[in-house]
Structure formats: C-alpha cells, structure tokens
Chains A and B, each alone.
Chain A
C-alpha cells in the first residue's frame, strides 16, 4: 500500500545554505514526530510537505500527487505554522470562520465547524476577543483550531506545543492523540524529546538537513543510554549525598555545583541511579530541593550521533 506522504530524494537550499539534503521518507497514518534542534531543517521539511516551498531536487507526493502548486490537495491538509502570526485585527471567531469560508463551506456549516473547533481547543468563551489580546497559549490553540476545523485527513503541526504551559501542553497532546484515534495522518515537529515521546513512538530525527535516525523512539532512547547522563541534585547537604554514592560503580564522575549546594553526577545507568538516589536520600535524611538534567536534551543525543 502506498504511504500517505512520500518524499523522494528531497533537497532544498537557501542560496548557499543547505536546508534539507536527500530526504527520502514514507509517512503513514498515525502520529510521526519530527525531532531536531532549532535550525535542523524541520520547518523546511514541513514547508516542503505543505507546498510552501519548491524542492530544488526531489519530490513531495501526497496521495501520489506532487504538492507544489497543487492547491486541490489542500482540502485534505491542515497546517499549523510555527510562527506566532495572525490577522490581528479580528476576533478568534472571525479568524476561524474567515479561514473556513475559504474552503467554500456554506454559512451554516462554517458556524458549526467553528463552534466545534473552538470547543475542542477550549476557546469558546474567548471567541469574541480580538486575537491580539490572546495569551500565547490561546494563540497556539486558535492556530491549532484553524488547522483541524475543516476535518483534514493530514494534519501537519510545526512546533504546536511551543509557548504552552504544562497544562496546555497536556491538553493539546491529548487532542493530537484523539485525532490519531480518528485515523488521521499527523506530523508533529518539536525540539523537545519528551514532548514527542508523549505523543508517539514513531520518530524521525533530523539534523543539519539530514535524517539522522528514524523509527521507534525506544531504540533512539537506547542511544541515550550509551551516552552519560548528567544529573544535578540541589539539596541540603551535597557532600553527605556524594559520600553515599562513592562506592557506586554506575557513577562515572561526581562534582559539586556553585557554592557546593548541588551535586552533579554523570552516569550511564540513569534508572539505576534514580533508584539508588531515593534510598540514599531517605537513609541520609537529606532534603532535596531540585533535580535537573542539564544535558537531558536532544542536542546531546545529536552531538553523540554526529560525532559517532
């Protein structure tokens, strides 16, 4: 069976700058996470897939048809752009109904669809406020609403979670999963691994315009396991905590943070370390203020993959 979205040897340059290089992919129904640091080429890929850019080399096919200047395809595609851009002088309702009318829906259907979309993103109460007065989170949600209001089969979301508070992120992730359950094809981009992980296990990792890895997220997680994790623990007595880890072979390196108030640990076995930490804290009566992972980000994984 043909994939919903296919790219064949897709390459894109901006003058001398490489945007995307020789990307061949097949994307099927369900959620596919496009993962990469800022400037990796995620947005270029999204813009090529939505026909906003023309490939220098290669093709983008949706349902077997080229996307560039093929506007008929867009009846079945919903796109949520990354940029925080709107027609600012209108209300959320006018923004949404105005864009829906561009599909040619009759007035009654426009109203029904707009009501439903605003309800989904929980903006019904604020629909009559000007978009310019919306908070960042509300703007993200109305942007999402315009991408799904016409009930497209393919939903392309460029960094949809950026700017949302944790609760907003959780709500949007739940919504995206609902669309997956409805049989849609969804591509979501993000530079934050846990965000993608919360939505899907199918991931494409992109870096410097090239596909670094693709497939199941757990196999990519394994890559992290072979790369030392840095864990910082701010606590009431960092030296006492360090003493409890001295004989621990899973720890590669320990150091103290500024003013000796935190302990920074490097380990290959993060899960085992956290298990030991719990015991150490309880047994030592140490008060933990904060646990953070300074290098628990994609950049570290990318650096590892690139160096390798």
Chain B
C-alpha cells in the first residue's frame, strides 16, 4: 500500500525511517562493518581461552577477567566503533562525494542525519551486544542457572548502549563541521577520556566514560589490578542515565542544526 504523505511531502518520521532502512542496509555491506565485527570477536576468543585455562575455577580470577573484558568494551570497543561510525555520518558522504544523492531527495536534512545516526547506532549495538553476550556467557558459563547474572548482563548492555548513543552523538557532531574529525575524536576518545577518568574528585565527571562506569552493575574494589581498570567515584545511576541521554540529545540537536545550515564542498 502506498504510504500516506501530506501535500507538503513526507513527514519527518517517514523520512527518518526511510533513511534508517537505507543506511542500515548499506552499513551492513561495508568492509568496515566486517572488520569491526571481527574486532568484536577478540573478547570472545579471549573468553574461550580463559575458560579453557581456568577450567573448573570460579573465584576472583574469573571475576578479574570479567572486568578486563568489560574494560575492553567500555574504554576501547565502543569508543572506536562510535568514533568511526559517528564521524562518518557526514564525513563519508563528503569524502566519498555521495552527499548529493541524499540531499537532492525529498528528505529533510535532520531526517537524513538522524536516520543515518540511528542506523549506525543500531548496527554498533548489534555488534557490541553479540560480542558482549558471547564473551559474558562463556566467562560465566558455570553460573547460567543463577538468575542474577542475567540482570547483570542487562545492566552491562544498557550501560554500553547508552555509551554508544552518547559517544556517537558527540563524534557525529564533530564530523559535521571538522574536516579531520577522526583525529580530534581519537584525541578525545583515547586521550581525554582515558586520562580524566583516573583523576580523583569531580574532574572525572567531565568524561563520558565516568557515567557509563557509574551504571556498571559490578565494580572491582581492591586488588592489584583494580586501580588500573577502574577508578571511580560514581554518580547516581539515575543521574548518569539522564546525563548520557542529555549529552546525546544536545550534540544531536547541534549536529542537525549545523548539517542543515552548512554547505558541503567537495575537494577536487
């Protein structure tokens, strides 16, 4: 059945949905997605390896390796995914010079931007979720009958999901106006975020990773590795959720405004 459209053209949500479907499809077909999917298998491989090495053991050592895996997701995997997908929302269209195919269609620019953002966020979440669920349940294979681990798993999923939303929104915002957004993003993601999170007091609240960590269901305390993995003076979970959502919404609004107002010239 033909979709209903008002006389002025498609509604925002119709346009958003069309762009989402288009880029969810395109996103799956790119070589980049295959590389990142393989990258996501690293923690799975590590989990399998440790389960073999630690066969039969259930104590702190298992918990420590659990923490290592989570740190991989929080401080590396979602940062690198969000960085590459977020900055590419606009940059790949301008660098690949495919932007005219989008902006000469009956779609509002915010719908194009947000539709592509949503497609890439969904794609990233599927990748991270697949990798997390496999590695988590392999590491916790001995506790599959314990209902508590499913709640823990859901909390990890939620925290990483919110992290993807916020990081991608920030990097997408950078991509709308910086030519080399990926370099600035690398400095932010692996410089600022990595350094500031180990500062005591409220300084660490100037990082996104702080709020993600505040939502983690289990935080290591004590032990020789804990200071290297987690330094946290947590924010209340509700505040952390609201902060991540507000950060994502604010950067998306700014990015949409910029994308609508800015002209993009291609380098010859």
Contact = CB atoms under 8 A, between A and B. Distances in A.
B18 interface: yes
B190 interface: no
B106 A101 contact: no
Contacts of A93: none
Contacts of B98: 85-87
A243 to B, nearest CB: 49
A217 B18 CA distance: 43
A87 B9 CA distance: 26
A166 interface: no
Interface in A211-231: none
Interface residues of A, number: 33
A98 interface: yes
Contacts of B104: 50-52, 74, 77, 79
A106 B3 contact: yes
Contact of B109 (A53, A69, A104): A69
A146 B109 contact: no
B2 interface: yes
Interface residues of B, number: 36
Interface in A101-130: 101-106, 109
Contacts of B223: none
Contact of B19 (A74, A81, A87, A102): A102
B29 A89 contact: yes
Given A87-B98, A99-B101, A106-B1, A71 B26 contact: no
Contacts of A106: 1-3
A246 B265 CA distance: 55
A202 interface: no
B8 interface: yes
Contacts of A103: 105-106
Nearest to B108: A71
A38 to B, nearest CB: 10
B30 A72 contact: no
B220 interface: no
Contacts of B143: none
Among all A-B residue pairs, the 7 with the closest Cβ atoms: A85-B97, A72-B9, A89-B29, A79-B104, A75-B106, A74-B106, A81-B100
Given A47-B100, A89-B30, 10 more contacts: A71-B106, A74-B107, A79-B104, A81-B97, A83-B97, A83-B266, A90-B26, A102-B18, A105-B2, A106-B2
Interface of B: 1-3, 5, 8-10, 14, 18-19, 21-22, 25-26, 29-31, 96-109, 260, 263-266
